[in-house]
Chain A
């Protein structure tokens, strides 16, 4: 199997069955922890023997009848779809599921999930939003200790500082490679289709890191070799896909309709930390907490005083020589909808063209999106 085939196998499997997780557990005798986006300290779980598994929904592969009984229809698709998976027992392979404070929907979802599952332990992590407080880093460190304690209760292994240090390094390596791939998309988008780039990232939320890294390395090397030829397409930055993931079909439709997605927020939580410096003698748990609290990057679901989101969006567009910005936001996702207004007013001022489209993770038709994107491309390309 080529790396690409392996990646898609994992992604396909993660929509409903999680067979790969079950097999890993059987082979290793170790537990798995599912996590809801946007950010999760996978290093921590990894160091304690867990397989961290990103939960991103069923991508429309199952009817949401049970979830519909418990939630209203103005709730985003990823939440309803993850909940349906829980109720159907598809997530029974996870010993624990962790949520965090990204939005009210996910927060309440953690509670109703807790009320509806027996075997799985539900944990909720509070990631601080106050990066100016002296207490934020120690606070997050305590939260991580609490999480470690839960994982210990579930998995029976205690957190070991040395192991954590090794895990952080592994994940540093993963993030560095993924960043390299992202840069490739920015410089030569024709050499690597967005969908295969995306599948690669997504597989990274599912595979054991030990088997993922070598494949990723190979994939990056091969991608660098591809020649390819630039087509007459516009370069766009895509924002809004930080939590619920757009169906692959919509991303393909966008590229077909005349775009190169040169930068995006897909699975941003996975890449967000960048490199965590671990000088000798530094406590890795504190380093992990610092990495989050003092991260200067924008994350829609977090507010950090003193960080100028508008400026960041403009910088991003300029760095990438983008001809336009596409706000691709999940239907009913409030954080995305609010960020859209903040982003658009900055782009309006700078006269950078932008487009807003909504999607649902479960959608199976993309005609509206295609028409919008085509028009957008036409408006930039035609004269």
Chain B
């Protein structure tokens, strides 16, 4: 039985193929852009190609992410919060807290043994509480998003970026740049500022180890480090966590499929 999980995010989209609810067969990723139907189709095709399968081999498609309604041929849609929690639990079975940071906002959830969400919060929109802020900073400071993390890690004296509003925070960064504060210190400060907001959200659901980070920010080592420092403990990490929501969707799809078959038999 093969289920597909598609995550159509505000910034990036992912696809996962899962066999029997246990084995990851293929992964694919790409920026979302503005044509969400197209990106979903392309990702699915590319995942299928890398697994050497065809569309007919897929028994069930579960879609998540804010563009979940743009893929018409879905069998199930779930929100990215539910999906990311399941994905995190799949990869790290002892997870109790999941932090899923997307471009626009961050979602913290507390999950039970089965991966079901007990409580969740999202960052207030009115705050630099998502990865999009870091993307902007990467742009103004003219370092690529990929190098932002590694460069920030070299900082010895991160500057505090105190403003809560993203609009003001951006001005503050530009102002720091004009004052020729070392770039790595600004970048680390920006990471810490997002961590500060996100931490507050996590705190609102109650922090319990183990904490698993999912979404695009797992690829930003400075964010991970700043977060671990704030937390005072390790985060679960693995490159697959980038795909957690797609994975979680595929997994939930598999469960649905079982249920359906069980009823049908």
Contact = CB atoms under 8 A, between A and B. Distances in A.
Nearest to A344: B204
A378 B125 contact: no
Range of interface residues on B (Cβ < 8 Å): 10 to 19
A158 interface: no
Contact of B116 (A372, A374, A379): A379
Contact of B82 (A353, A358, A378): A378
A371 B79 contact: yes
B152 to A, nearest CB: 29
B119 A353 contact: yes
Contacts of A368: 105, 122, 125
A6 interface: no
Contacts of A376: 120
A372 B122 contact: yes
Given A367-B66, A383-B114, A375 B82 contact: yes
Interface in A160-187: none
Nearest to B82: A378
Nearest to B77: A374
A382 interface: yes
Given A378-B79, A378-B82, A379-B82, A371 B66 contact: yes
A353, A374, A375 — most chain B CB neighbours (10 Å): A375
Nearest to A355: B120
A371 B80 contact: yes
A374 B77 CA distance: 10
Nearest to B78: A378
Contact of A374 (B79, B119, B252): B79
B122 A378 contact: no
A382 B120 CA distance: 15
Contacts of B105: 368
B1 interface: no
A71 B252 CA distance: 48
Given A367-B66, A368-B125, A371-B66, A383 B82 contact: no
A375 B105 CA distance: 15
Given A371-B66, A374-B79, A383 B116 contact: yes
Contact of B117 (A356, A367, A375): A375
A356 B120 CA distance: 10
Contacts of B81: 371, 375
B34 to A, nearest CB: 15
Interface in A207-227: none
A203 B66 CA distance: 34
A118 B82 CA distance: 55
A371 B80 CA distance: 8
Q: How large is the interface on A (under 10, 10 to 19, 20 to 34, 35 or more residues)?
A: 10 to 19
Nearest to B110: A379
Interface string A351-383: 001001010000000011001101110110011
B177 interface: no
A378 B117 contact: yes
Contacts of B122: 368, 372
Interface string B125-145: 100000000000000000000
Contacts of B125: 358, 368
B118 interface: yes
A379 B122 CA distance: 15
A78 to B, nearest CB: 18
Contacts of A383: 114, 116
B78 A379 contact: no
Contacts of B79: 371, 374-375, 378
A354 to B, nearest CB: 9
Nearest to A373: B79
Contacts of B114: 383
Nearest to A367: B66
Interface in A314-371: 353, 356, 358, 367-368, 371
Nearest to B117: A379
B66 A375 contact: no
B4 to A, nearest CB: 19
Contacts of B121: 356
A360 to B, nearest CB: 11
A371 B81 CA distance: 8
A382 B76 CA distance: 13
A231 B122 CA distance: 28
B194 to A, nearest CB: 18
A149 B117 CA distance: 58
B80 to A, nearest CB: 7
A289 B117 CA distance: 47
A382 B117 CA distance: 9
Interface in B49-83: 66, 78-82
Contacts of B80: 371
Nearest to B111: A379
Q: Which of B78, B79, B118, B252 has the most CB of A within 10 A?
A: B79
11 contacts: A358-B125, A367-B66, A368-B125, A371-B79, A375-B117, A378-B78, A378-B82, A379-B120, A382-B82, A382-B116, A383-B114
Given A372-B122, A379-B118, 6 more contacts: A356-B121, A358-B125, A367-B66, A371-B66, A375-B79, A379-B120
